[in-house]
Structures are given as structure tokens and as C-alpha cells.
Structure 1
Amino acid sequence: MSKFDDIRPYDDDEVNGALQSVARHPMMKALMSFTFPNRDEDFWLEQFKNVHSIKDFQSQFISQTVLQILERSSEGLTTSGFDQLDKNQSYLFISNHRDIVLDTSLLNLALLNGGFVMTSSAIGDNLVKKPFLHVLAKLNRNFLVQRSVSIREQLDSSKTLSQYIHNLLTKENRSVWMAQREGRAKDGNDMTQQGVLKMLAMAAGDQTLTDFFKSLRIVPLSISYEYDPTDSLKMPQLMAKSRNEVYVKNDNEDFTTMLSGVLGQKKRIHLHAGKVLNTELDNIANEFDNKNKQLQAIAQIIDDSIIQNYKLWPTKYIAYDLLHKTDQFADRYTEEEKQLFIRRLEMRIDSFDSALKESFLAMYANPVINKMKYQQDLSS
């Protein structure tokens, strides 16, 4: 028994048995029918017999699923920055977070295509309550962030999680993906939660905070979807927040969001891998003695990288101009693109509700507003 057994993905010797246990599950049949639309059930059932590692499952099946998602619901994935990374090195990818399933799946596709080792990825245990999803997550090298534990258990859970991530990066040479915050950014404002960094730092031991974070080789990752496939689903929570109301999810909301993220139209998608945080951490060590100040500064440099390297699609500029009733960025989009975006807005929300419309537009416009603070060329 390992202290990580409650949160870790399957070991390779457990993979085939786990896969066979769900091979005929209706949800697996739906997933494989989507992945291999011209094949019958016998095809993948036979192929499953030869899967004996997570790498086998991801490279032979899940990568094909992601390619089908891109083919059916996007206009393609582009990447940048990965050529600056060492294929033999592990990295902690900390990214902005838009979609429960796709963010990490797209990163792993980019890593697989580039000849890198794929990541082990954090996922909240609240998202895999259904037994099939739990098995599928573990087959995809997801490890669990235990969000359903009691307050008394949270500290021990966080320590275990921190040690597990550190173990992956430094002992197993396995890259890790995690979001910069708990839950997806609903309003387009990408900000790193200090609590995420505090959790990571629990494994620092005798190292200084900045030396510890240098050892993790943090790569800020910017993920940008031209259309957010779950944009309208985020509106109820945003509206509740604006009214200072407590928002309560319905039982199937997370699952509905997963499906919408996979099947909904995304148009173009871009992933940018930022530079590994290194000298910036030395500068923080020299400037601040206080650990909280250091954590704030580390969060800020992650935010700076994610925002500055975020790809601004025409939809972002259109939303900014509509929100502010201006034509400031009219040269960044065509009239056709503008009308398509307006049509999407009208189809997905009640555009006569001014508060709802404003929240929808702000979700798309906020990356432009955030990038303007750096007073840089907004064409990227």
C-alpha cells in the first residue's frame, strides 16, 4: 500500500484489467463509436486486449478521440513555445482553465506529437463520481484532487497531493498539468490562486520557497479557444455571483459541461508554452523575505506569462467593441466574423437581458482588457 493509492492513476500492470472492466460499458461504447465512427464494437474490443500501459491507451485511443473532437468541433489546434522545452525533462505546466476535459487533453496531444512525455494531470474528485468516469480518469493518468473531504482532512489531503506532485516531477521525471485555480475561469479573468501555490509548497521541506519552485520547472501554459463551447453554461453562476447569491450546481451539471466542452464548437484553438520560470524566482528571492509576499510574486509572474502569451482571436476583440460600444479593434475582425459572433450570442442567451448580455461579452472581452494592461501589441 502506498500513501498515494487514494489519488494516483493506475499502474501499468493494472491497466488492462481496469480497461476490460469497462470495455462493454455503454459510455465506453459511445466514446469508441465517436472515436472510430467507421468501426464496429469488435474492433476496439479486440484492440483493448493489447493495451498494457497508460501510454498504450492514450496514444492508441484517447489521442484519436481528441483528433476526432478537433475534426468535428474546431477549425484546428496550433501551438507555440514547445520547441523551447527539453524532451527529456519533466515540467509542471500551470495553465489557465477553460474546459474540464479538453485543456489537459489538448496539451497531451501536443506533447505526444512533439515527442514529449505526456503529463499526469490533476482532476477534482467531484468530477469523477460516476464509476465509469473514475476508471477513465485513472486510465488517462489523472490524479485526484480530493475536494469532498472534511475540513479536518483537508490539510493532510493537501500535503499528500503536494508530495505526490513533487514525486512525479523529481523522482519519476513525469510532467504534470494543473490549473492555476480551482475550477474554470468563468469570466475570462485568468488569475493564479495563491492557495494552489501554497499546496505545492507543502513538499518544500528544508528548501527555500524559491529554490523549491525552481526545482519544479514551472511552465505557464496559455490556452485560448476562439469560441468557448461552455460559454452559455457559465452564465447562471456568473449572474448569481453578481447578485451576491450562492450558486448550487445541479446533480448532472459537471457531466453536461464535459459533454458540451467536447462536442461544442470551438473554432480555432491555440496553446502557448511559456518559458520555464527560473531567473524570475531568483529575483523574487532577492526582493522579498516574507513567504506570503514571495507566493504573491510567483502567482503574478505566472499570470503575466499566461496573459501576455494568450492568443487573442477575433471573437475577443468583437466582444470588447460590443461591450464598450466602440470600433477600437475593428481592424482585427471582419464584418462577417462580427455578425457570426452576434448570432451566436443571440442563440445562446437572452440578449434582451442587459446584465446577462454584459456578462457574456465580458467573458470574451476580459482577456483583451487584461492584455492591454501590459501596453503591448495586441495582435498576438
Structure 2
Amino acid sequence: MFDDIRPYRDDEVVDVIEKLINEKGLQASIASLKMPRLYQVFPSLACTIVKWSLKIRVQKFHNIEQIQIEVAKYLHHLIKSSTAGFSFSGMDNFDNTKPALFISNHRDIVLDVALVNLALYKSGISTVEAAVGDNLLDQPWVADLMRINKSFIVKRSEDTKRAMLTASKQLSAYIHDTVSNRQQNIWIAQREGRAKDGIDKTNSALISMLLLNKDKQTPIADYLAEINIVPVSISYEFDPCDTDKAIELAEKEATGSYQKKAGEDLRSITQGLVGQKGRVHIEFCQPIQGDYCDSKAIAAAIDKEIISHYKLYDSNLVAHAKLNNLSINDTVLKLLNKRMENLSTAQQHWLLTMYANPVTAKQNLQL
């Protein structure tokens, strides 16, 4: 029933790894990142080196847990090299002995869920199965790579409304079965696509999808208790992709559209992982419980938790002050100006806006 979307199981790991080692696309991607000069001049040689390196490094992996432990080591290194500190709190806000559906704001393609997983791992809590949209999986090997690390597929590219509804029902059933029956944590972003403008808003259509599996006789409160939604608020001091996002937002404003370039998602993933992020904080919020009237009310409750627990940094406060002609911390303004030095006036406005919007959201919450 779920074989085409579920993560791979332990008994599939060895075969999938063997398949990945021989994937030319994966070899080329690693070679272009790790040895760009050699790959440019002798691509076949670079790919061969990558293939044999992979063979040696992955021969110890025979189950999912071994892969996750290795990923955790990489994340520890990544946090040391690309952040000024990673913190998390709120573990006492929810019953961590009960499986949860974590719904977070979405700023980074890969790192959001990776950091949620790291916080859970450090707290001795089972890591999540993570939702990943098939729009990011343009090559079959990319899907294999995600599914071998506890990711499941969200079908967003179906051709007809009927097919989309069928896919949504399958996804809803899978999430409920995973949390309620298989007792496994899940993570999904609050909306499709990153919040490039800094506005963290849950798409009510996501909640409607989650409720598709609910029997008509089951009260919403009971179903919410079964899937156990725990909002998660993720705050980055600086966004490594902020200039790219500002360029995209300015172009959309000017022309009404933006055309992604080939390989843009992969570049965003890489930049998001290795780029400097300053301080990063994750707050686990109160579970969403009670008898809500509809999907929009549940989405609003998630938004309230995420916004109220969002950690504002000087980068947010200074950008908001700059846009509203208030007094400004010159030191932080210099950092923002440095990031904007190659941007047009319109692009600079959007970069400041994406940092300022969380401040505005908090202010509006207090009105």
C-alpha cells in the first residue's frame, strides 16, 4: 500500500547502497563538489575515484541506524563549521515517550529536518521519518538517497486532480499509520516550499490532507490526539541563501514569475548546509490538542505556536528597524549591508524584509 513512498527498510539497505555506488549522477555530483578541478579536466577519472571511495566508506552500513549515526557525526561537524552555536529547548512541552507528528516552519531544504533530528538524537528520542517532495527528486538516485535515510515521498507532480487526491489519501493514511500504529515520529514542513519571505504560515491544505484519513464519526479532537501534532519553531540568525531568495523575490515582484535554473535546488541544498548561519535555535512547542472546527483553525493554532516561540536575533531586529526608520545597531547593520552589497535596491528591500517579517509576525500576534 505504501511501497512507492515509504522509506527503505533495514533488509533493503545493502542492495540500495550497491545501486547508489554505481549511479553515474551521484558520482558526478560528489566529484564536482569534492574535486571540481579534476572533474572539469578528467570527469571519468574523478567519478571513478568517487566510486571506489564510496565502496570503502559504505561497506560498514547494513541497517538504517548505522547510516543515521554516520549522518549525526556529519551534522556535528557541519554545525561546528557553519554556525556560531546550535541550541534547542522545549522537550518538556510534549510527551516524548509518545510518537509525534512534528510540523515546523521551513527555511532550508535539508537542514530544517536535519537539525530537528539532531535535537531529538541528543535527547535520546527516536529520529523522524521526514517528508520530501518529489519535485526535489528529479533523478531516481536522489529519491534512493533520501529514502535510505528515513525519508518518505510526497507526490506533488501528479497530472490530474483525481491522481492528486489519490496521492493525498495515501499520504494521509501513511502518516496516521506511521505515528499511531508503527509508533514512529514524523516530520513535515508547514507548507510546500521554503518561506523565502520570512513569513511562516501553515498551509491549511496540509491539515486538510492530514484529516483525509479520519472517519467521519471520529471527532477532530480524537484524531488530533492520535496523530499528536507538535509544532517546531526553527530560527536562523543568518540565511546562507538570503541573497538568492532576495533575487528571486524581486524578480517575481517585477515580472510576476521566476524560472529556476538547472541544478538550482541542489546548489541551494549545498549552500544551506555549508554556508554560515550564525546562531541557530529550535523550540519544540505545545502539542495541538482540542476540538477545532476545521483545518484553518488548526493551521492558525500551529502558526501561533511557531511564531510565539520564534527566537529573534539582532539580524531580525535591525532589518525591521531599518525598514521602519528606527534607531539601528550599526554593527549588525554593517553585516547586513555586506550581504547586500551586490544587490539592487529592490533586492536589498526583499532581503531586509525576509529578516524583518518574523518581528512583524510577533508584533501582530500580540495585538
Q: CA deviation at 1:239?
A: 2.1
Question: What's the secondary structure of 1:262's corresponding residue?
Answer: helix
Aligned to 2:41: none
Secondary structure of 1:373 counterpart = helix
1:19-98 map, 5 Å: 19-23=17-21, 25-26=26-27, 45-46=55-56, 48-59=58-69, 61-98=70-107
Deviation, 1:20, is 2.7
Give the whole-Å Cα distance in 1 for the aligned partners of 2:330 and 2:257.
39
- Aligned equivalents of 2:169, 2:251: Cα separation in 1: 33
Q: 1:44 to 1:88 in 2, by over 3 A?
A: farther
Shift of 1:339: 1.4
Aligned to 1:37: none
Identity over the aligned pairs, expressed in percent? 36
Partner of 1:18: 16
Matched, 1:275 2:286: yes
- Contact 1:23–1:29 (Cα < 8 Å) also in 2: no
- C-alpha contact (below 8 Å) 2:243/2:339 kept by paired residues: no
Alignment of 1:152-301 (within 5 A): 152-205=162-215, 206-243=217-254, 245-278=256-289, 281-282=290-291, 284=292, 288=293, 294-301=294-301
Residue 358, structure 1, aligned to residue 349, structure 2: yes
Using structure 1 for the length normalisation, give the TM-score: 0.85
Q: Secondary structure at the match of 1:269?
A: strand
- Comparing 306-315 with 139-148, which one deviates more in the overlay? 139-148
Residue 42 of structure 1 and its aligned partner are, at CA, apart by 7.7
CA gap 1:31/1:76 in 2 versus in 1, 3 angstroms = farther
Q: Following TM superposition, by how much is the alpha carbon of 1:44 offset from its aligned partner in structure 2, in angstroms?
A: 6.7
After superposition, the C-alpha distances for 1:217-247 in whole angstroms (9 at most, x for unaligned) are 1111000110011111112431243236132
How far apart in 1 are the matches of 2:116 and 2:28? Answer: 24
Structure 2: state its 5+ residue gaps: 36-49
Pair 6,354 (structure 1): closer, same or farther in 2 beyond 3 Å? same
Are 2:128 and 1:116 equivalent residues in the alignment? no
Query: How far apart are residue 33 of structure 1 and its match?
Result: 7.1
Deviation at 1:46, TM superposition (A): 4.5
Residue 135 of structure 1, aligned match among 141, 144, 151: 144
**How far has the Cα of 1:127 moved from its partner?**
0.7
Q: Match of 2:324? A: 324
Stretches of structure 1 lacking an aligned partner (at least 5 in a row): 35-39, 289-293
Distance 1:187 1:135 in 2: 31
- The residue aligned with 2:3 is 5
- Residue 315 of structure 1: aligned partner: 315
Given that residues 205 and 295 in structure 2 are in contact (C-alpha distance below 8 angstroms), is that contact kept between their aligned partners in structure 1? no
User: 1:108: Cα distance to partner?
Assistant: 0.6
Q: How many pairs are equivalent?
A: 348
Question: Given that residues 85 and 278 in structure 2 are in contact (C-alpha distance below 8 angstroms), is that contact kept between their aligned partners in structure 1?
Answer: yes
| Residue pair 1:20, 1:48 contacting (<8 A) in 2 also | no
1:45-78: per-residue Cα shift (whole Å, max 9, x none)? Answer: 455333222121011x111221222122111210
Cα displacement (A) at 1:253: 1.4
Change (3 A) 1:42 1:253: closer
Per-residue CA distance 1:271-295 (angstroms, 9 max, x = gap): 00001122xx23x3xxx4xxxxx21
SS across alignment from 1:122: strand
Secondary structure in 1 aligned to 2:84?
strand
Aligned-partner SS, 1:77: strand
Distance 1:195-1:267 versus aligned 2 partners, 3 A rule: same
Aligned-pair distance for 1:43? Answer: 8.2
Can you list the C-alpha shifts for 1:323-351, whole angstroms capped at 9, x where unaligned? 11211xx4xxx5323312221222xx42x
Give the SS at the match of 1:243: helix
Alpha-carbon RMSD across the aligned residues, in angstroms, is 2.3
Letter of the 1:155 partner, please give it. L
